[in-house]
Amino acid sequence: MSNQHASQAPEPLLSPAAAELLQQRGLGPLAETMGIELLELSAERTVARMPVAGNTQPLGVLHGGAHVVLGESLGSFSANVWAHPDRYAVGIEVNASHSRSISEGHVIAVCEAITLGKTLTVHEIAISDEAGNRLSTVRITNLLRDRR
């Protein structure tokens, strides 16, 4: 992502724990490579958008794995906000169901907590096109671990 593009992006809406965590470790190189733009981040709800361009499979549609990367990234970000500062989250299960394809524009992902527990978190991520049509649903379970 170019600095010019990054400066045009609105500041994301962050919970205090999310702001601290992002300052410490950022989104990570894969999220940056895929062009994931964070719009909101908390343990309960995370929203991001991602371009289709650069993330397609040979037929020209958004790669199913890109859907999974976006969903798993948001679920992991949210789980780590929940775990912060004494714990951290690691993904132990992810699944995805794809219902529509997209070949241009951006996708919007909305991640919502299903369970925020002492040892596990579960998040569901709805990925839609800019018109609001659901493209895929991703669900991730994270295990919470103590920092050593």
54 in any annotated domain = yes
**What does pTM read for this prediction?**
0.91
CATH number at residue 76: 3.10.129.10
5 in any annotated domain = no
Interior angle at CA 113, CA 1 and CA 26, nearest 5: 30
Q: How confident is the model at residue 2 (pLDDT cuts 50, 70, 90)?
A: very low
Is pLDDT of 105 > 80?
Answer: yes
Q: Domain limits at 38? A: 12-146
130 in any annotated domain = yes
For 8-55, what is each residue's pLDDT tens digit? 567 889 989 999 999 988 889 999 999 999 999 999 999 999 999 999
2 in any annotated domain = no
Could you tell me whether strands 37-41 and 13-14 are parallel, antiparallel, or unpaired per DSSP bridges? parallel
In the chain, how many domains are there? 1
Q: Which residues are catalytic?
A: 72
7 in any annotated domain = no
134 in any annotated domain = yes
Q: Which of 83, 93, 92 is nearest to 43 (CA)?
A: 83
Q: Any alpha helices (H) in 1-148, and if so which ranges?
A: 3-8, 16-25, 29-34, 64-83
Please give the pLDDT value at position 7.
44
**Hey, is 83 helix, strand or coil?**
helix
For 106-124, what is each residue's pLDDT tens digit? 999 999 999 999 999 999 9
4 in any annotated domain = no
